[in-house]
Structure 1
Amino acid sequence: MTANKTLLFLPGDGIGPEVMNQVRRVIDWMDKRRSVTFNVREGLVGGAAYDAHGVAVSDEDMQQAMDADAVLLGAVGGPKWDNVAREHRPEAGLLRLRKEMDLFANLRPAMVFPPLVGASTLKPEIVSGLDIMIVRELTAGVYFGKPRGEETLPDGTQRGFDTQVYTDGEITRVADVAFDLARKRNNKVHSVEKANVMESGIFWRRIVTDHATAHYSDVELHHMYADNCAMQLVRWPKQFDVILTDNLFGDLLSDCAAMLTGSLGMLPSASLGAADESGRRRAMYEPVHGSAPDIAGQDQANPLATILSFSMMLRYSFDMAEDADLIDQAVSNVLDSGMRTADIMQDGMAKVSCSVMGEALVRQLEKLAA
């Protein structure tokens, strides 16, 4: 057995605990059948943390996240906390984790599993075989820039403002992640901004271009405005391999790309920090979907995005590509068998619960590992 890998589970709110329970089934199976064991700790984040501690993530759980080999998060938020002070709302816990762990590179794949081609709202020929990776800068830009706030002007007019700001170092380090990924894929990067109307967009384009010229001349680089990229994602998505973009546009474009696949319930994500001298990166993995409070506690959620996020954890944090491939194949096989949760239900398929989907996945793992 390899040494224990310390994981911090942050189930969060809504359907978060339900989907995380299915990951525990996969971990239990791996503990018994694979040459690895996991030391899993659990903490609170989001509304659950606010109810318990009055903050969106406690200092104690923040320290656990800093110390863990990797963090797996479920989902945060819900109408229950709509009137909580902004600094304590569920989303503030997520932002604190990203900022203090310095998770600057968000990886969001948009891949269409063959059995789900018909679940997309786009024509099959548009999405069949789709495999895009969006690399979003995650700890700078307009979500963190200062000054920000509200003010009353001398004439009595009220104004709200945020600041879009980047340094060259913040751009080049996330560009490194995108270009390195492209070298392992189809060797093509689209850098996306709004250089036509934003000074920060002009700066982003110049820094990416200079960095690519100096260090990645072997990678095909294209520049695209963010609004055009959104249009191209639904017009001809297979033109893209890796999309590199800032925090705001990455937030929007990754959700747009998500729906190409048929459901947010199918999409994982990884948020990575810089590698230290030993090669270790702080990292957090989470499904793209939200907390879905309307179905929370009803065993209806799709656990596959969270399970695929765990697969990304194996791949990017622990260099366990073989085990990650095994989980990805098991997901594909379960879908091939006709099982569907409500969010990806299609005519002629078998509608199953969250827990039944988790059970089916473990059975497929057993078959594949036999």
Structure 2
Amino acid sequence: MEESLKIKKASLYNFLLFTTVFVSFFDSHIEKIVAIKRLPLPEVLLLSIAVVFLIKNSFNNLKTITINVLIVILFLFGLLSGIVNKNPLLTTFLGVIWVFKSLVALYVGYNLAFNDKQRDSVLRLLYKISLLTALFTGIQILYGPLNPFFNGVFNPFGFVLTSSGLNGFMDNPNKNGFMLLFGFLYVLISKVKYGRLLAAIFIIEIFFVQSRQIIIVLVLILLYYFITIRKNHVQVLVIFLGLVMGVLLFKDSLFHRFAHEIPRILDTGNYFRVKALKIGFDVLKDNMLVGSGPGTFGGIVAHLTNSPVHENYNLFEHWSAYKNLDIVPVTIDMYWPHLFVEIGVIGMVIFMALYIKIHEKLKERSNESSNFIRILFIVVCVMGFFSMSLESSYLVYPIFILIGIEIKCIKNERKVIPR
């Protein structure tokens, strides 16, 4: 009877785990199917699971770990920051949930965890998704990014493809680029049949997708992997030189999208992210210790709640002359400055202490999957400098659920191995 309950519990947890990961990547596809825009399905699903576990654990009076304590402190601090700044309660609540998405996902992953097989199953699922989008990206490259042929045939959900890159099976080039990067890292680290061929395909497609953030992350992560994990400096040099030569030889084909944009930025300094950074520091000066409060600066919550901070500092004035609203962003597209301004110096110190603790935990095991998860953690952190990676469901939920599972498995391993 007890064994049967354990099996049912494991089946339920696995269902919740795989459903959350699937929804995180295909929320836009689901929106198309049900014809409802701005459906926060991943957030609602994960938050519901987190609340259930929170109630369950409070009744069970389980021993906690340092990371969980820091998570609670950060959430309480976020609420305190909103109260100190006299922000609306709803704005503060939503802001806390959004800015600390990674912590909610980690908590859920930690509580859903059973063993390493779970973790490896999630990684295999994500790899299969990367192969799917690689197939669509390959077809799109062969037919040309603006050819209407595959718009109807190979893009069944009707996501419009523009000169901003290739979507693959995803709804935007950055998401597609990340999945291709995931696939490349998976075949690089894991023992996969035809690994070298697949790695070459993933690399080529990453450059054709033309997501600047993914290309930058690719170079940095390769350096990190071969210096800190493989400890092979010769391969670092070869890869670096190969990438440089490839970029120089094919720069016109690979980077035609940026040909007019880069000179304009260099000549005029007219770049939204730079302006947003300057304004962010002005806001931070007025709220140095506790920040302006979650949900008030640069993020999706601030946009949806019409944050007065945006209006007071004319944050989006840069885009006022643009007639095409499709290209106008609703966030500053940089997670770390957005976080820093909202939670201030004290909150940032606690947050960085938590992330350093997570990284140290992830270094305790060095098998292939553990190394891969550590690299994914670095990926999403680096992307936070030029994207809202740690608020993007498709990035933060799967990766931090995996991190939560890994930390739980490390804890369980300590129990069975005599010290």
Same fold (TM over 0.5): no
**Class of the TM-score when normalised by the shorter of the 2 chains:** under 0.3
Structure with the largest fraction of strand:
1
Structure with the largest fraction of helix:
2
Larger Rg: 2
TM-score, normalised on structure 2?
0.25
